[in-house]
């Protein structure tokens, strides 16, 4: 039974029993404390906490999940994986144990012909919480499980909670007996390799207070309404139903693994190390594909860092298997898209965008490997010259953090050089970086608030703050909450920095690329708050940040909210212009030019999109001309709500990676542009006035950025450009249209002059080679030359001079050191002849001596090496230090 069929049967079974099928939420978690969705119940937390009204009291889903705490164990075992899918059925105050248990038993044991999974009853075991007599009775008397196949377990195994105050309760797990060849008898308590957990049924029935750990918490009392939350691992179920030994041999993962073996020539099952690499590749390619499809982009922090690490581990393991060529990730991504496309059709629809991002990251990392190897060689030389046996953790962290060099590669290459790596130091620095990234991300979203404070405000707001800003820029409201320094307060006095939550607001919170509204909130008491930022730290909660400029603001007071209209209009012009430029680029470059981010600010906007390379200037001009021609037509801009399926049927563009509910808002600019969007817009395209594209650039692997001006800002820019062009034309004594040709000629002549100067400078430097060789000092049978060149001499000339002098000393053991200051930092080059190398003198080690004296580092090969530092005044000392090192016996 294929994985897609496992999911289909599960969802159909519960749909037939009154459950609403809820599509998988994005991997990007709404919870600000989470980078990625790690469990199937995460999207349902607001319903369990009473913050939102569920679409139905009975729901079921197949949820995409990613967990990375054990990422380094992936591949080493067949149990660990990063991406997985969790099937679940949920009851919010509807049915409880008495129906959840029979539902689970029926689905598992019903024949496959009748839509079930067809498990033999005698193969199934269950566990219940220590004192949950009710669950045991339902299993035994209700569905007929013999008492000898029901086992009781404690808090660590059979009690569930969220890790924070809220709902919790006992759980019951269902296990499948894989047979004596997989382990010893005795049920799950004896051997969880033989008895494989397939389903966990959580019975939320208690209200928890303080939660200190998994097994240490306070039970406040019974929940007012009891809930059901279940989780079935799709991959694990597929392994059992497909009769394979582990998840890597199931249909979706095996297809990627098998293709990786074909591309690299590896054979799965023949070599443990190769098997580990193939499993890493299969898991990570699938994970990376799913993450990119949800709009995550490779980066150096947060979820972007998780994605980058996953993709780069894939490339690294391909290389370990002998796959050196670019393009391997493209082929494997194709397989992952085909394998998962039946369950997630959007993968097929956005395949071009997924490829663009992953291909670019692969190419970027291959370049990183080339650069990083040179940096690694320098670090090894410095470590050896210092007499240490381990590469410092700070060096390994720099390789990883600055150059993207994976730690496992550093460990392997260090071992090849006979060195260890200070892994403890590396991991300490990594942990500090992760903590900083999490703190920064959390503070951006929540303003450094405790999430429990936000939860309380969301509950006070009835689960959602009403946004009225599409049709109004002012409105009456009630003050739901005030926050000062992360704590709920009853009042805020004049001069206080405060965060205000209203029950309804016309203020647009930053989101979808659109900056937040500014304005003011006037309280019934006469107090006034100047609003400078608006955020949505939790879904449905809108928080206004500002300063009390007069009076005292109080919770429960009436309020009048007023948006800065001019700012809103300017931002709305930018947002509509972004839609139009997006449409223009898709017409010019094709569907692969998908929006990957934007920022709409007053009079200016930037638009990020996926692309494999730079956009030609001619395309930029064509898009700009086309968009401005559409503005002249003054097309109506309209918006309306509809279903996601209907929106796609009419051709509305769903932005790559954005999260959408069942009902979506469609924004149309005539017939030119149609997108799903929650932002604010102008009434007609003519209100934009003018769009001026400033240029484009790369902001990361596979992503380009266009910046542009709109409205009055565009007019002002063109006016300044016109004055500047006129001034240049006057200085050059040519007409405006002749300026490019005149400037091009001047630049060409300047470059020729610079080449001539560089040639003369090089000749002057090299002219002293003969006299330097003639004047070489004899240091115990080694000819030594130490020379400082004039400041400004290029590093290339230093290397040429050192090599030339060494050549003139051929036949003799010789060490040549040339130092100078090419720009603002000292550089030293050392060349060592073969005879000197036979005496144990190595250029890399000697450069290390000089570079440390200069306050820097360096390295290279035994015959020639280069280093540098920061203290140009120490060049004389560096020359002396190297001379002493050559003299030393």
Q: What is the arithmetic mean of pLDDT over 325-351?
A: 92
Which of 121-135, 253-267, 349-363, 471-485 is predicted with the least confidence, judged by mean pLDDT? 349-363
Q: In what order do the strands lie in the sheet with 777-779?
A: 777-779, 782-788, 814-820, 827-832, 864-868, 858-860
Q: Which of 3-12, 299-308, 843-852 has the highest mean pLDDT?
A: 3-12
Reported as a pLDDT band with limits 50, 70 and 90, residue 400 is confident
Q: Residue 142 has what pLDDT? A: 94
Q: And the tokens for 627?
A: 């968009």
Contacts 24+ apart (CB under 8 A), 244-248: 245/78, 246/78, 246/79, 247/78, 247/79, 247/81, 247/84, 248/78, 248/279, 248/282, 248/283
CATH 3.30.930.10 residue ranges in the chain? 3-249
Q: How far apart are CA 505 and CA 104, in angstroms?
A: 45
Per cent of the chain over pLDDT 70 is 96
Q: How far apart are CA 653 and CA 295, in angstroms?
A: 14
Q: Is the dihedral of CA 789, 793, 799, 803 positive or negative?
A: negative
Task: Specify the CATH number for 3-249; select among 2.60.40.1260, 1.10.10.10, 3.30.930.10, 3.30.1300.10.
Answer: 3.30.930.10
CATH 3.10.310.40 residue ranges in the chain? 768-887
Q: Say if residues 251 and 341 touch (Cβ distance below 8 Å).
A: no
CA distances from 601 to 400, 575, 878 (A): 35, 8, 53
Give 677's Cβ-side CA count (13 Å radius).
28
579 annotated ligand binder:
yes
pLDDT at 660 over 80: no
Q: How far apart are CA 219 and CA 132, in angstroms?
A: 16
Contacts 24+ apart (CB under 8 A), 587-592: 587/623, 587/626, 588/619, 588/622, 588/623, 589/615, 589/619, 590/352, 591/352, 592/352, 592/353, 592/355, 592/356
Q: How far apart are CA 39 and CA 202, in angstroms?
A: 13
Q: Say if residues 445 and 499 touch (Cβ distance below 8 Å).
A: no
Q: How far apart are CA 288 and CA 318, in angstroms?
A: 15
pLDDT at 204 over 90: yes
CATH 2.40.30.130 residue ranges in the chain? 451-563
Q: Say if residues 504 and 542 touch (Cβ distance below 8 Å).
A: no
Q: And the tokens for 522?
A: 């006037």
Q: How far is CA 57 from the centre of its chain?
A: 34
CA distances from 556 to 59, 350, 547 (A): 35, 48, 18
Q: What is the arithmetic mean of pLDDT over 559-580?
A: 95
Q: Residue 889 has what pLDDT? A: 59
Which of 224-233, 299-308, 635-644 is predicted with the least confidence, judged by mean pLDDT? 299-308
681 annotated ligand binder:
yes
CATH 3.30.980.10 residue ranges in the chain? 571-718
DSSP 803-856: HHHHHHTTTS-EEEEEEE-SSSS-EEEEEE-HHHHHTT--HHHHHHHHHHHTT-
Residue with structure tokens 């009851």?
91
3-state secondary structure (DSSP) of residue 595: strand
* 3-state percent breakdown (helix, strand, coil) of the chain, nearest 5: 45, 25, 30
Q: How far apart are CA 845 and CA 882, in angstroms?
A: 10
pLDDT in tens, 63-106: 999 998 878 888 888 888 999 999 999 999 999 999 999 999 99
Q: What is the arithmetic mean of pLDDT over 317-346?
A: 91
677 annotated ligand binder:
yes
Reported as a pLDDT band with limits 50, 70 and 90, residue 444 is very low
Tell how many helices (H) and how many strands (E) occur in the chain: 26, 35
Q: What is the arithmetic mean of pLDDT over 658-664?
A: 62
Q: How far apart are CA 674 and CA 606, in angstroms?
A: 19
Say if residue 341 is exposed, middle or buried (CB neighbours under 10 Å; 0-12, 13-18, 19+): middle
Q: Residue 447 has what pLDDT? A: 44
Q: Say if residues 377 and 860 touch (Cβ distance below 8 Å).
A: yes
Say if residue 44 is exposed, middle or buried (CB neighbours under 10 Å; 0-12, 13-18, 19+): buried
Q: How far apart are CA 396 and CA 407, in angstroms?
A: 7
CA distances from 874 to 424, 507, 877 (A): 35, 60, 5
Q: Residue 439 has what pLDDT? A: 58
Per cent of the chain over pLDDT 90 is 53
Q: Say if residues 477 and 528 touch (Cβ distance below 8 Å).
A: no
DSSP 8-class letter at 192:
T
Residue with structure tokens 């900083």?
436
Which of residues 108 and 730 earns the better pLDDT score? 108
pLDDT in tens, 3-18: 999 999 999 999 999 9
Nearest to 37 by CA among 94, 83, 71: 83
Q: Say if residues 381 and 865 touch (Cβ distance below 8 Å).
A: yes
CATH code for the domain defined by 451-563: 2.40.30.130
Q: Residue 661 has what pLDDT? A: 56
pLDDT in tens, 73-85: 888 888 889 999 9
Q: Residue 464 has what pLDDT? A: 87
Q: How many CB atoms lie within 10 A of CB 832?
A: 29
Nearest to 576 by CA among 451, 684, 425, 681: 681
Find the radius of gyration of the CA atoms of the chain: 33
Q: How far apart are CA 439 and CA 451, in angstroms?
A: 13
Residue with structure tokens 């919010």?
92
CA distances from 145 to 124, 142, 185, 322 (A): 8, 8, 17, 52
575 annotated ligand binder:
yes
Q: And the tokens for 175?
A: 């296990």
Nearest to 580 by CA among 456, 697, 672: 672
Ramachandran area for residue 487 (φ above 0: left; ψ -120 to 50: alpha; else beta):
beta
Q: How far apart are CA 461 and CA 539, in angstroms?
A: 12
Q: Residue 685 has what pLDDT? A: 93
Q: How far apart are CA 70 and CA 79, in angstroms?
A: 11
pLDDT in tens, 705-725: 999 999 999 999 888 888 888
Q: How many CB atoms lie within 10 A of CB 473?
A: 19
pLDDT at 183 over 60: yes
Residue with structure tokens 């405006």?
736
Q: And the tokens for 82?
A: 């990063």
Q: And the tokens for 320?
A: 């370990």
DSSP H or E segment with residue 376: helix 351-385
pLDDT at 446 over 60: no
Q: Residue 107 has what pLDDT? A: 97
b/e burial code for range 284-307 (CB count within 10 A of at least 16 → b): bbbbbbbbbbbbbbbeebbbbbbb
Q: And the tokens for 773?
A: 């060789």
691 CB-near residues (< 8 Å, 6+ apart)? 577, 580, 581, 624, 627, 628, 631, 708, 709, 710, 714
Nearest to 547 by CA among 524, 565, 528, 561: 528
CATH code for the domain defined by 768-887: 3.10.310.40
Q: What is the arithmetic mean of pLDDT over 144-173?
A: 91
CATH code for the domain defined by 571-718: 3.30.980.10
Q: What is the arithmetic mean of pLDDT over 183-204?
A: 94
Reported as a pLDDT band with limits 50, 70 and 90, residue 657 is very low
pLDDT in tens, 793-812: 888 888 889 999 999 898 88
Q: Residue 448 has what pLDDT? A: 43
Q: Is the dihedral of CA 147, 152, 157, 159 positive or negative?
A: positive
Which of residues 52 and 110 earns the better pLDDT score? 110
Q: And the tokens for 388?
A: 């240490």
pLDDT at 658 over 70: no
pLDDT at 596 over 60: yes
Residue with structure tokens 């280069």?
866
HEC string for 299-351: CCCHHHHHHHHHHHHHHHHHHHCCCCCCCHHHHHHHHHHHHHCCCCCHHHHCH
Q: How far apart are CA 524 and CA 502, in angstroms?
A: 13
Residue 820 main-chain phi, psi, to 5 deg: -175, 180
pLDDT at 197 over 50: yes
Q: Residue 404 has what pLDDT? A: 67
Q: Say if residues 479 and 463 touch (Cβ distance below 8 Å).
A: no
Q: How far apart are CA 843 and CA 860, in angstroms?
A: 7
Q: Residue 757 has what pLDDT? A: 80
Residue 66 main-chain phi, psi, to 5 deg: -135, 130
Nearest to 862 by CA among 840, 882, 884: 840
- Mean pLDDT, all residues of the chain: 88
Residue with structure tokens 């496959």?
112
Give 665's Cβ-side CA count (13 Å radius).
11
Say if residue 78 is exposed, middle or buried (CB neighbours under 10 Å; 0-12, 13-18, 19+): middle
């Amino acid at each position: 039974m294929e994985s897609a069929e496992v999911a289909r049967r599960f969802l159909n079974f519960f749909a037939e029993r009154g459950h609403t099928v809820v599509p998988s939420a994005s991997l990007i978690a709404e919870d600000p404390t989470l980078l990625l969705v790690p469990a199937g119940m995460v999207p349902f937390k607001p319903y369990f906490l009473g913050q939102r009204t569920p679409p139905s009291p009975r729901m079921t889903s197949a949820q995409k999940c990613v967990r990375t705490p054990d990422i380094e164990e992936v591949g080493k075992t067949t149990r660990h994986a990063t991406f997985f899918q969790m099937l679940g059925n949920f009851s919010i105050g509807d049915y409880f144990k008495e129906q959840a248990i029979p539902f689970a038993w029926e689905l598992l044991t019903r024949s496959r012909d009748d839509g079930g999974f067809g498990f033999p009853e005698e193969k199934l075991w269950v566990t219940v919480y220590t004192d949950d007599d009710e669950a045991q009775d339902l299993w035994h008397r209700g569905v007929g499980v013999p008492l000898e196949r029901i086992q009781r377990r404690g808090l660590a195994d059979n009690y569930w909670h969220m890790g924070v105050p809220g709902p919790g309760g006992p759980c019951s797990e269902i296990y499948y007996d894989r047979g004596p060849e997989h382990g010893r008898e005795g049920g799950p308590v004896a051997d969880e390799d033989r008895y494989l957990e397939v389903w966990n049924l959580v019975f939320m029935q208690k209200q928890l207070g303080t939660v200190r750990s998994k097994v240490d918490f306070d039970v406040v009392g019974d929940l007012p309404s009891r809930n059901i939350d279940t989780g079935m691992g799709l991959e694990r179920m597929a392994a059992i139903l497909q009769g394979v030994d582990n998840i890597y041999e199931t249909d979706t993962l095996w297809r990627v693994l098998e293709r990786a073996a074909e591309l690299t020539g590896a054979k799965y099952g023949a070599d443990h190390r190769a098997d580990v690499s193939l499993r890493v590749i299969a898991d990570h390619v699938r994970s990376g594909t799913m993450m990119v499809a949800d709009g995550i982009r490779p980066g150096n922090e947060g979820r972007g860092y998780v994605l980058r690490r996953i993709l780069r581990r894939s490339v690294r393991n391909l290389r370990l298997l002998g796959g050196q060529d670019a393009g391997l990730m493209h082929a494997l991504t194709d397989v992952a898209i085909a394998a998962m496309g039946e369950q997630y059709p959007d993968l097929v629809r956005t395949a071009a965008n997924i490829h663009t991002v992953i291909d670019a990251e692969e190419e970027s990392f291959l370049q990183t490997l080339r650069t990083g190897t040179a940096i690694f060689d320098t670090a090894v030389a410095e470590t050896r010259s210092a007499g240490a046996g381990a590469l410092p953790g700070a060096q390994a962290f720099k390789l990883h953090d600055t150059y993207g060099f994976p730690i496992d590669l550093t460990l392997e290459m260090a071992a090849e050089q006979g060195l260890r790596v200070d892994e403890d130091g590396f991991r300490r620095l990594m942990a500090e970086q992760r903590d900083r990234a999490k703190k920064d991300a959390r503070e951006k979203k929540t303003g450094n608030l405790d999430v429990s404070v936000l939860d309380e405000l969301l509950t006070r707001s009835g689960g959602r703050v009403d946004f009225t800003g599409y049709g109004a820029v002012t409105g009456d409201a009630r003050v739901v909450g005030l926050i000062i320094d992360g704590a709920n307060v009853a009042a805020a006095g004049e001069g206080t920095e405060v965060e205000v939550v209203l029950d309804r607001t016309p203020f647009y919170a930053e989101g979808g690329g659109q900056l937040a509204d500014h304005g003011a909130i006037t309280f019934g008491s006469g107090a006034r708050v100047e609003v400078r930022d608006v955020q949505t730290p939790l879904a449905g909660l809108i928080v206004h940040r500002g300063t009390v400029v007069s009076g005292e603001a109080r919770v429960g007071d009436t309020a009048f909210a007023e948006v800065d209209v001019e700012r809103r209009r300017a931002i709305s012009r930018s947002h509509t212009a972004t839609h139009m430029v997006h449409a223009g680029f898709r017409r010019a470059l094709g569907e692969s030019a998908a929006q990957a981010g934007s920022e709409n600010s007053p009079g200016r906007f930037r638009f990020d999109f996926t692309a494999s390379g730079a956009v030609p200037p001619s395309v930029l001009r064509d898009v700009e001309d086309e968009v401005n021609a559409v503005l002249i037509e003054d097309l109506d801009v309209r918006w309306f709500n509809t279903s996601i399926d209907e929106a796609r049927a009419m051709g509305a563009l769903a932005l790559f990676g954005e999260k959408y509910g069942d009902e979506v808002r469609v924004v149309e600019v005539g017939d030119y542009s149609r997108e799903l969007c929650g932002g604010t817009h102008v009434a007609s395209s003519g209100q934009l006035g003018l769009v001026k594209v400033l240029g484009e650039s790369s902001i990361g692997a596979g992503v380009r950025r266009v910046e542009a001006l709109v409205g009055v800002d565009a007019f002002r820019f063109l006016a300044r450009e016109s004055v500047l062009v006129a001034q240049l034309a006057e200085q050059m004594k040519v007409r405006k249209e002749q300026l490019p040709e005149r400037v091009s000629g001047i630049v060409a002549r300047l470059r020729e002059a610079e080449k001539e100067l560089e040639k003369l400078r090089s000749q002057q430097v090299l002219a002293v080679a003969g006299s330097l060789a003639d004047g070489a000092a004899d240091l115990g049978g080694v000819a030594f030359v130490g020379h400082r060149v004039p400041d400004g001499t290029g590093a290339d000339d230093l290397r040429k001079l050192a090599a030339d002098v060494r050549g003139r000393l051929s036949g003799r053991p010789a060490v040549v050191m040339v130092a100078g200051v090419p720009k603002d930092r000292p550089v030293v080059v050392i060349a060592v002849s073969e005879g000197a190398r036979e005496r144990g003198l190595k250029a890399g080690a000697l450069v290390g001596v000089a570079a440390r004296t200069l306050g820097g580092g360096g390295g290279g090969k035994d015959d020639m090496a280069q280093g540098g530092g920061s203290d140009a005044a120490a060049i004389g000392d560096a020359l002396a230090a190297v001379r002493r090192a050559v003299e030393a016996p």
